[in-house]
Structure 1
């Protein structure tokens, strides 16, 4: 793929930084033995102590969180992660494409959406709508229906509803987030079933994010106001250490936003919302090394989704990104409630080599209750006193969707040292059950998002071995089994998925590694059982005779749908060096290339006509669409990089990703492949780190290798400025400018007709990002 001029300059800057690390890599062999402890840390035996003096928590992120509270700088790739291999390791040492977003970074962003926190992560993209506050994550061109495993405090987020949006999203208030780990590709297949694209793991805030060293209680109060238009947020989180073995933490947030204007000055309807949330966690340590944590999160999102009809000549109907029909779409007043409850038990003792376990059970529910408030015409339907049609129902009609996910995840690590060989055996099991239900008074959305149950279970074993500081090998195998059922039919399947990774000179300046990993994704309820009719905007044009009546075209179920299998080959290079020019500077970098061959890739296929394929689309249907396994599957390949040089008083880094993906049968690009991007981050720290000023410039080149039925994403430059100041140890001031260049941008492809004259205008208008936004925030800490 060709790179634009600005992208090339950004990449050159990144290459220069990486080259700096390469200059010192010649000393890698000499330093390998001296740094062996970086790879296979040996837990020292603690001194004898009374139980009352037990360490206050087991959570690895505690150290990083405490550091963030007092404003000390740090390399995010030095953070501890367990997502890639379920064993504790620094992200820079992981033989996998891992990225970490720290609490310090989160606090400085003043994020309105989850996407504001991860848009710069290589290989990661967001499919967001301004009138829909949920988030859909795309990793390496894979998204929807669980291809990316999203977990919050270890609980799977499996919400999905078919419509003019992503088929798989989740609700999470960014003010609740205490840390993010992202693993790209199926190398983390032991983390859970289905993650052929990767894993996005979110940790919500906990007591260690509020209490400072030496405190037994603490409270953080935060407030943010912003422009474009009427943005405001307030939150309070507090914790108390009742004694060394009992902690309690709780907090809540409330935010509001009015309709924003995009970069053209056009007000995007229904982008206002009201978000509220609450969180509580109780931690008990009944014995040394044991920690039991009960946590619950509640969130409510109030908003309207859909776009009204536009007047001819409206700015967004004639801008350079394509023309639209101006009919608008149905509008729904929406109330989404999300509940997550987790109960976990961890055990870890430095001198216990046999047991180091983490066990968790969880429940997650997403309730989406809607009432239709607007329609595309003024015509009454089938005796309704209000406008409507058979697909979307009548104005005033309710509809709703509920998904309950029940799950568990348990694993243990046993360690054995034999001479210079260090072995870690990790083994466990996990599973979840989705229960989906829906209703629609006079429409048929409960048909296109069918009810049913899906049960997915799996187990894994992993062997991680390190020889001195010369070589590290990680091998594992995972077994998955699924069963899907509903009154309309069902399917089932199982598979073993292997992985193997080998890395050389772990712990040295330069660590190359190579890996092969497979992942297995069970088809979703919607992909297998979706059925019903669809009409054109406005309710006109009945051209197909579907089983449930006339429609524009018919959705057909496919009970013979096979699960997808992702097979990824990858080569990576980890770079790390301290004391390059001074005694305190550091460089970190992760680079990798990959190719993912997805067998039995599932996509919505159509239009299928009765005349050309009567077996799939029997008479008298006329025109049909169906989820099918693509012949030959799909191939996705790309390059990713993440670098950061930190001189304490200033820092600069570059991250970026370039990728492509094709339908192997047709040679046509996949619409889910995101744009290529390069993000340059630079900043300074002043007055003993009490002031941090930074800029993030993301250059995006829209992907145009997509099917003709999609309008490509735009190319753009997104520049954000951030300032964080701590005039006292208890007061933090934040200021930010988002989209400094006030650009119109639409990050992902939009479904449309081949000539772009009938774009699904609700998606096009609502997917445009906000124009320039100013934000200011004040955070105050109480504690003692």
Structure 2
């Protein structure tokens, strides 16, 4: 990697020194001494075989329920604001957020399948001009995992060049103690900035010993927020209704089988919103917009009690994301010449049917060696619908956003060889087939001022291959090293093949990624039972035929970069005892156009996240400080502006009594951006939110 100079060198030198200074006086980990849990000891589900984050040969961050509640997030984007290597692209509008991982993910292109998003194993994808890519509410989820890098493609799908984000919804068992037939929770939150509030009710019942049912309902609303100057942030006002229903029935002689079903829905209906939700540009006028996102799942699990070769799960699902737009303002080229480039009214809809099945077999190879083999198949059929009502009375898709169909079928195998909990070797491979088809579309003829129908009627097919090899070796009880090499191919999307009223000859993007890192883990550091963990990852991701989208001042352009290079370092460290705890995360990413030598767009600023907290057990009180530090980003791409560095300071406190009248209740109070700092994140198109007081109260029953 290129050397880093100036303040960024000092920033990361300080971070590394702060983490490693704790190591020399520590005692090596004793397997018989339980250490206090840290963020690096949270269970990672999305790895084939469950393990804690520090023992995965990949950079992964897990947000459990406690971590989600501590942030008191209002939007999905709030969940990722302190995860190394992850940034939110676009705006603070609930309809304008997309995800960037390690510099991959742009405001005008969204993630375009370079980042795979899943909810309970269901792929979620939405791409519309100047809109976000995922619409939901953080209150629905109990765990979020971010797996960074292309190695995730093996289990989740070709093209995960940035990585994978998985969301797990709440379960009835989360609110039922052993023997309970009935349980649940009520919760209310309030945010001072925007006077936003949430009302949430969860009901869990277990009418039979082997039957669990969950129902959840949330309503959230907010007025426009203000930045550090006190200026209004347009289109940050919203209201949303969302709910979740789940049922699971367990059966079999050894309760080793279960069937399950779930349905969730999120909706928002807003009038007079800017068409442009990512940059809030006024050139496209305003629109009345209704957004609805739905996911339904039916599945079956069988872990075949007594049979190590079978641990099977299968599910089928349906996903539907629909944006309806009415009362669209015209775009006027002169006082007498106005057109409706997006139609008088329009819909943008992605309807997806998916099916997947996988099995994990366990082999005892010897007294020291264990082997796990995960194999699976998945497939999906997706319709993209874009009916627009035009001024000539017709209704069909746009040539700039054509209607079409995408079919994906993939098969994968991933093995894990483990030796005495010291060595873990993970080879894997995946093959995917993609078929894209597009039909007719409406095209505006600037010469005649009329809309004409063109018949694209084309089909494109591609095959992608995604192999990987990863390994982690614990050199001692306290020190381990890991590394991986992964290759994946991203197949083009409909917009890339069939946009701008023409058929493009699009090649696959090919990513080759190398990672190398080390882990440090100690127990009994300062007091008996405490623990310290550190994980550092360096990566180098080279992408051939990289499709980069940007705004040239008049329209969106897409350049094909023969070779793009991303490289960087991520660090996560955590300490926990019965009273004191803390964490540190840092990220440094560089993105370079190897063909021209220039910087790539959408590369985040260097960042450091720190937290220090204390638990006063006699009062069941948990409080602390969080700091977010961002360096100046002067390595902006050709179509970006530089941004200044900044620091945000935040305070939090939680009271969770275990006994007495308020047992099973939780009171939280946060102050974000306590000094009302004015700032702009490099990947955001608006100023950041000013000082915000947050208050929440929940009661389990």
TM-score for the superposition, normalised by structure 1: 0.79
Alpha-carbon distance in 2 for matches of 1:153, 1:442:
38
Q: Which residue is 1:207 aligned to?
A: 172
Q: Deviations over 1:151-207 (max 9, x none)?
A: 0111111111123x56xx111101111110110001112222221210100011111
Change (3 A) 1:150 1:506: farther
Aligned pairs (5 A) from 1:699-738 = 699-727=629-657, 728-738=662-672
* Aligned-residue offset at 1:527: 1.4
Change (3 A) 1:625 1:687: closer
* Aligned-residue offset at 1:148: 0.6
Alpha-carbon distance in 2 for matches of 1:724, 1:606:
44
Aligned pairs (5 A) from 1:77-226 = 77-83=40-46, 85-133=47-95, 135-143=97-105, 144-163=111-130, 165=131, 169-193=133-157, 194-226=159-191
* Aligned-residue offset at 1:774: 0.9
* Aligned-residue offset at 1:217: 1.6
Q: Deviations over 1:701-731 (max 9, x none)?
A: 2433233322234432222221111243222
Contact 2:42–2:52, Cα closer than 8 Å, also in 1: yes
**In proportion to residue count, which structure has more strand?**
2
Name which of 16, 28, 38 aligns with 2:18.
16
Q: How many residues align?
A: 663
Q: Which moved more, 1:634-643 or 1:568-577?
A: 568-577
Q: Which residue is 2:371 aligned to?
A: 423
Aligned pairs (5 A) from 1:598-637 = 598-604=543-549, 627=558, 629-631=560-562, 633-637=563-567
Q: Which residue is 2:522 aligned to?
A: 577
Question: Tell me, what secondary structure is at the counterpart of 2:234?
Answer: coil
Aligned pairs (5 A) from 1:215-254 = 215-254=180-219
Question: Tell me, what secondary structure is at the counterpart of 2:79?
Answer: helix
Alpha-carbon distance in 2 for matches of 1:513, 1:696:
29
Change (3 A) 1:13 1:674: closer
Contact 1:93–1:506, Cα closer than 8 Å, also in 2: no
Q: Which residue is 1:337 aligned to?
A: 292
Contact 1:643–1:655, Cα closer than 8 Å, also in 2: yes
Change (3 A) 1:507 1:92: farther
Alpha-carbon distance in 2 for matches of 1:642, 1:16:
12
Alpha-carbon distance in 1 for matches of 2:673, 2:286:
28
Contact 1:572–1:591, Cα closer than 8 Å, also in 2: yes
Change (3 A) 1:702 1:360: farther
Q: Deviations over 1:345-397 (max 9, x none)?
A: 22225632111122222111001011235567797766xxxxx524245xxx3
Name which of 325, 348, 357 aligns with 1:401.
348
Change (3 A) 1:606 1:683: closer
Change (3 A) 1:557 1:263: farther
Aligned pairs (5 A) from 1:207-356 = 207-287=172-252, 288-304=255-271, 307=274, 329-348=284-303, 351-356=306-311
Change (3 A) 1:205 1:326: closer
What residue ranges of structure 2 are gaps of 5+ in the alignment? 106-110, 440-455
Contact 1:588–1:643, Cα closer than 8 Å, also in 2: yes
Give me the CA root mean square deviation.
2.9
Change (3 A) 1:526 1:281: same
Question: Tell me, what secondary structure is at the counterpart of 1:592?
Answer: strand
Question: Tell me, what secondary structure is at the counterpart of 2:689?
Answer: coil
Q: Deviations over 1:568-616 (max 9, x none)?
A: 10002122222222112111221100000112211248979xxxxxxxx
Contact 1:134–1:171, Cα closer than 8 Å, also in 2: no
Question: Tell me, what secondary structure is at the counterpart of 2:19?
Answer: helix
Change (3 A) 1:134 1:707: closer
Question: Tell me, what secondary structure is at the counterpart of 1:105?
Answer: helix
State whether structure 2 residue 444 is matched by structure 1 residue 480.
no
Contact 1:131–1:305, Cα closer than 8 Å, also in 2: no
Contact 2:513–2:539, Cα closer than 8 Å, also in 1: yes
Change (3 A) 1:606 1:115: closer
Change (3 A) 1:683 1:304: farther
* Aligned-residue offset at 1:137: 1.1
Contact 2:55–2:472, Cα closer than 8 Å, also in 1: no
Contact 2:473–2:482, Cα closer than 8 Å, also in 1: yes
Alpha-carbon distance in 2 for matches of 1:341, 1:237:
19
Name which of 580, 592, 613 aligns with 1:683.
613
Change (3 A) 1:458 1:6: closer
What residue ranges of structure 1 are gaps of 5+ in the alignment? 39-71, 310-323, 383-387, 533-555, 609-622, 751-763
Question: Tell me, what secondary structure is at the counterpart of 1:771?
Answer: coil
* Aligned-residue offset at 1:327: 6.1
Change (3 A) 1:360 1:517: same
Q: Which moved more, 1:123-132 or 1:502-511?
A: 502-511
Q: Which moved more, 1:368-377 or 1:214-223?
A: 368-377
State whether structure 2 residue 537 is matched by structure 1 residue 592.
yes
Contact 2:464–2:488, Cα closer than 8 Å, also in 1: no
State whether structure 2 residue 680 is matched by structure 1 residue 746.
yes
Aligned pairs (5 A) from 1:401-550 = 401-419=348-366, 420-442=368-390, 446-487=398-439, 488=456, 489-505=458-474, 508-532=477-501
Q: Which residue is 1:696 aligned to?
A: 626
TM-score for the superposition, normalised by structure 2: 0.88
Q: Which moved more, 1:213-222 or 1:561-570?
A: 213-222
Q: Which residue is 2:39 aligned to?
A: 76
Alpha-carbon distance in 1 for matches of 2:178, 2:280:
60
Q: Which residue is 1:774 aligned to?
A: 693
Contact 1:437–1:451, Cα closer than 8 Å, also in 2: yes
Q: Deviations over 1:299-334 (max 9, x none)?
A: 10123575599xxxxxxxxxxxxxx99965411121
Contact 1:304–1:333, Cα closer than 8 Å, also in 2: yes
